[in-house]
């Protein structure tokens, strides 16, 4: 380890003349005086900490910092202001025309200059989210082995049974870990089984915790459970980063995940938030119910998407001025998203006084076998109330003609499922038909924004899981909404972590849906927008975070003693600082971390030698 020693600073020899030193934004008239006052300081700081992602200010180190940290000369004379640093990043970003190349650049940026990275993301949400998150992150996961460039999270393989704790403790921020996003990579967006490449999704989700909800990255741990992959092409890919085995299944798989969950709370405490992401649908549901009330956990694809789905439906209710219970809603698909939305929608309708049967009456479900009817084979128990007493209908087009839905929701990964005929039929029957194409990434969308607007003569209230640009139609600019769980999970997680809750009840997802639906203004609604623009996703996260925290406090689920009125300030005070403080102060905060035993021994040894 290369420890940098700053002894007596040596300013007479090392300090360049501040009058002649090149600085773009700062002058240093007091530099020599200030440094002279600390002539007797003895500071030893490992070079890799100074230049590691967290504290590395790149060309923003002041001359004094360069001197005192012993990095003077390791960088050119120019001292960049924050704006100049952002300009440099933006210029690099735009120098790449391909989205995956931009993704690759941003990964490298995060690894070397974490704070600059998050500042850039937070200042350019609209530009950057489609790269570090959906849809590009999905594409990047398909070639993740090629893009791989070092530690981004913890990989736990099936061979780590019995010593998962040691693996978790290898994480550099182990002493601060408060939340984990875990995937086993079996259902990455609509792209299927990508095995250990799924790590990219866990990383992307947690980056939104920071960029949108201000949660410090040092508290976060992305995890990929490598239980193998059944994707044969990955077994044969020489750049694949995971185990080239078939997936664990059955009891072996479940007990592996059980051991992981137990080890997490044993290592980091009961309040550790565990976010499940992109598990195959049956496993996602199984774990959600298996761990109910045992852990502080949620499934984003079921519950996060449900909050955003219901939020959108409430928005349609605001536009159409027709109660949700009176809308005819057709769901295409029976995966995590559809099941989650159905659950939350029913909860909402029942809370309005409808019986379960009344709530289910206008809801139709269509999957690979066609319309769900009372005669359908193998009806899942929780879907039976939606099974209709009708003749089987295999074609979605025929079904739309028959039941005339006012809202059509797709989460099928079947690109193009919403055909021209379907969209025209909806527009013929309804003034403002609601169309949701939840499937991600863009290549899996059930229809495009252009198709939805064109085929509905501009009437559709269209939203999609992936971002679509606005469309010009008959001289009007129509802007689709992004029906993506990024409008729910950052805020829900923020509220839960703020109060150190040990559970995440379903009510917080319902609450998030209502908060989200209140955000669009009347003007937004007039323009057919039921979701806020993605650039205000951080305001959405804060609003939801505050309400979720208050709910948890008021319902006795908070471990942190916090008054509901203090929530907002507490969040603001603890939010990740995008500004660098003094690099000296920043570096000094490192010793607070529990030292890695091997590093501590090495440090001692070096001290002895001095």
**Which residues are known binding-site members for a divalent metal cation?**
277-278, 301
User: How many residues belong to the site for ligand OAA (CB under 6 A)?
Assistant: 9
How far CA 343 is from CA of 298, 336, 348, 440, 585, in Å, comes to 14, 11, 9, 21, 49
Around Cβ 444, how many Cβ atoms within 10 Å?
24
Q: Which one of residues 278, 446, 547, 586 is an interface residue with Mg ion (CB under 5 A)?
A: 278
CB of 426 to ligand OAA, least distance (A): 24
Instruction: Identify what 491 binds: Mg ion, ligand OAA, none; CB under 5 to 8 Å per kind.
Output: none
- Catalytic residue, chosen from 113, 117, 133, 144, is 133
Instruction: Identify what 348 binds: Mg ion, ligand OAA, none; CB under 5 to 8 Å per kind.
Output: none
- For residue 358, what is the enclosing H or E element? helix 356-361
Place of tokens 């408060």: 178
Question: Which one, 362 or 440, has the nearer CB to ligand OAA?
Answer: 440
The reply to whether 189 sits near ligand OAA by the rule CB under 6 A is yes
Contact 369, 376 (CB under 8 A): yes
Place of tokens 């999609």: 464
Angle between helix 305-320 and 336-351 (nearest 10): 50
Question: Which one, 222 or 465, has the nearer CB to ligand OAA?
Answer: 465
The reply to whether 301 sits near ligand OAA by the rule CB under 6 A is yes
Place of tokens 């863009």: 442
The burial class, CB within 10 Å (0-12 / 13-18 / 19+), for 310 is buried
Question: Which one, 136 or 587, has the nearer CB to Mg ion?
Answer: 136
The reply to whether 300 sits near ligand OAA by the rule CB under 6 A is yes
Q: Mention every residue, 6+ apart, whose C-beta is less than 8 A from residue 125.
A: 211, 212, 534, 535, 537, 538
Place of tokens 């199984």: 286
- Distance separating alpha carbons of residues 308 and 420, to the nearest angstrom: 26
The helix, strand and coil proportions of the chain, stated in percent and rounded to the nearest 5, come to 50, 10, 40
Q: Which one of residues 445, 484, 538, 587 is an interface residue with ligand OAA (CB under 6 A)?
A: 484
Q: Copy the structure tokens of residue 297.
A: 């956990």
205 is known as an active-site residue:
yes
CB of 249 to ligand OAA, least distance (A): 22
Question: Which one, 300 or 446, has the nearer CB to ligand OAA?
Answer: 300
CB of 489 to ligand OAA, least distance (A): 8
| Part of the chain binding Mg ion (CB under 5 A), chosen from 262-270, 274-282, 346-354, 428-436 | 274-282
- Catalytic residue, chosen from 57, 115, 119, 205, is 205
Q: Lay out the site mask for ligand OAA across 46-85 (x = CB under 6 A, - = otherwise).
A: ----------------------------------------
The reply to whether 301 sits near Mg ion by the rule CB under 5 A is yes
Please spell the DSSP secondary structure of 93-135, one letter per residue.
Answer: HHH--SHHHHHHHHHHHHHH-HHHHHHHHHHTHHHHHHHHSTT
| Part of the chain binding Mg ion (CB under 5 A), chosen from 20-28, 123-131, 299-307, 423-431 | 299-307
- As annotated, the binding site for (S)-malate includes 187, 440, 484
133 is known as an active-site residue:
yes
CA 89 to chain CA centroid, Å, is 22
Contact 122, 110 (CB under 8 A): no
- Residues binding ligand OAA (CB under 6 A): 134, 189, 278, 300-301, 440, 465, 484-485
Which residues are the active-site residues?
A: 133, 205
């Amino acid at each position: 380890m290369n420890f940098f020693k700053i002894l007596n600073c040596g300013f007479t020899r090392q300090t360049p003349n501040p009058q002649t030193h090149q600085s773009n934004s700062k002058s240093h008239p007091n530099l020599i005086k200030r440094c002279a006052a600390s002539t007797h300081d003895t500071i030893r700081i490992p070079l890799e900490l100074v230049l590691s992602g967290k504290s590395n200010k790149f060309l923003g180190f002041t001359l004094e910092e360069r001197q005192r940290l012993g990095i003077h000369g390791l960088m050119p004379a120019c001292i960049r202001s924050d704006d100049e640093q952002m300009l440099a990043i933006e210029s690099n970003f735009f120098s790449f025309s391909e989205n995956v190349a931009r993704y690759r650049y941003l990964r490298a940026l995060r690894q070397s200059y974490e704070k600059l990275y998050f500042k850039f993301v937070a200042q350019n949400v609209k530009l950057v989210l489609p790269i570090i998150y959906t849809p590009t992150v999905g594409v990047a996961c398909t070639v993740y082995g090629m893009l791989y460039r070092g530690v981004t999270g913890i990989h736990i393989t099936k061979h780590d049974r019995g010593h998962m704790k040691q693996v978790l403790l290898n994480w550099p921020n182990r002493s601060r870990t408060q939340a984990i996003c875990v995937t086993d990579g079996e259902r990455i967006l609509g792209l299927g089984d990508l095995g250990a490449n799924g790590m990219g999704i866990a990383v992307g989700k947690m980056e939104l915790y920071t960029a949108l909800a201000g949660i410090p990255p040092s508290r976060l741990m992305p995890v990929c459970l490598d239980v193998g992959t059944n994707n044969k092409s990955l077994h044969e890919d020489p750049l694949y980063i995971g185990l080239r085995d078939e997936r664990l299944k059955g009891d072996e798989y479940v007990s592996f995940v059980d051991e992981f969950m137990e080890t997490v709370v044993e290592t980091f405490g009961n309040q550790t938030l565990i976010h499940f992401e992109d598990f195959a649908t049956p496993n996602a549901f199984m774990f959600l119910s298996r761990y109910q009330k045992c852990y502080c956990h949620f499934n984003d694809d079921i519950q996060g998407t449900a909050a955003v789905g219901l939020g959108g439906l409430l928005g349609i209710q605001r536009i159409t001025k027709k109660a949700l219970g009176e809308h005819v809603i057709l769901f295409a698909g029976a995966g995590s998203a559809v099941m989650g939305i159905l659950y939350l929608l029913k909860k909402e309708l029942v809370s309005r006084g409808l019986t379960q049967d009344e709530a289910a009456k206008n809801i139709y479900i269509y999957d690979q076998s066609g319309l769900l009817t009372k005669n359908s084979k193998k009806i899942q128990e929780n879907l039976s109330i939606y099974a209709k007493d009708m003749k089987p209908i295999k074609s979605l087009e025929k079904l739309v003609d028959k039941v005339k839905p006012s809202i059509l929701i797709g989460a099928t990964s079947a690109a193009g499922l919403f055909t021209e005929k379907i969209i025209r039929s909806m527009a013929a029957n309804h003034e403002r038909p609601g169309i949701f194409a939840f499937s991600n990434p863009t290549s899996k969308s059930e229809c495009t924004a252009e198709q939805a607007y064109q085929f509905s003569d501009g009437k559709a209230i269209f939203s999609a899981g992936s971002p679509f640009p606005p469309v010009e139609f008959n001289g009007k600019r129509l802007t689709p909404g992004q029906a993506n769980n990024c409008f729910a999970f950052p805020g829900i997680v923020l509220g839960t972590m703020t109060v150190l809750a040990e559970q995440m009840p379903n009510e917080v997802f319902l609450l998030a849906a209502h908060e989200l639906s209140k955000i669009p203004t009347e003007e937004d609604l007039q323009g057919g927008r039921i979701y806020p623009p993605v650039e205000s996703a951080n305001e959405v996260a804060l609003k939801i975070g505050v309400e979720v925290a208050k709910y948890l406090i008021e319902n006795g689920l908070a471990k942190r003693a916090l008054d509901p009125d203090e929530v907002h300030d507490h969040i603001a005070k603890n939010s990740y600082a995008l500004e660098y403080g003094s690099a000296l102060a920043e570096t000094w905060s490192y010793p607070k971390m529990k030292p890695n035993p091997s590093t501590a021994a090495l440090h001692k040894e070096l001290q002895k030698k001095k």
